[in-house]
Amino acid sequence: MPEPDTGVTGEPAAARPGGERVRTGSGPGRLLVAVYAIFALAAGARAGVQIGTKFSDAPLAYSLSAFAAAVYVLATVALARGGRTSFRVAVTACSVELAGVLAIGTLSLVDRAAFPDATVWSGYGEGYGFVPLVLPVVGLLWLRRTARRARTGG
């Protein structure tokens, strides 16, 4: 009996109906993975410096930056890997990211005293050109498109 085609991730090729794997990190998805990787690095470096040098100044803001970095790392890896489990992780990461940007963005504008220093998500990501607001939307749209393509076999 032949072994099932497992690809790089070890998941069966039939991870989606029609036998096609969800290939989230190929084609235009490579650019999305690259942007997520850049944001993971930027948010992680920023949080590391802030936590290491002045954590007591704004512990909530700096902890949220570290959380954002972790979400970006998770999204990067899940999008790059593809497959059923990674697809679900990517959807969850992008959804958490969008909820975080909207919640922290709103809170940072409503209660500026709670955020004496900026986070990646404060002001809806204004310090990063609002990319943190747009990125999860693009990510979720890409995931929807790749899932549809995998279902139809195209």
Tell me the pLDDT tens digit for each residue of 88-119: 999 999 999 999 999 999 999 999 888 888 88
Domain contains 46: yes
pLDDT tens, residue by residue, 32-86 = 999 999 999 999 999 999 999 999 998 988 999 999 999 999 999 999 998 889 9
The band of 2, judged by pLDDT with boundaries at 50, 70 and 90, is very low
- Domain total of the chain: 1
- CA 149 – CA 121 distance, rounded (Å): 31
Domain contains 15: no
Query: Averaged over 146-154, what is the pLDDT?
Result: 76
Domain contains 60: yes
Range of the domain at 99: 20-149
- Choose among 71, 83, 92: nearest CA to 29: 83
Domain contains 14: no
- CA 75 – CA 43 distance, rounded (Å): 13
Domain contains 70: yes
Given this model, what pLDDT does residue 75 score?
97
Given this model, what pLDDT does residue 154 score?
58
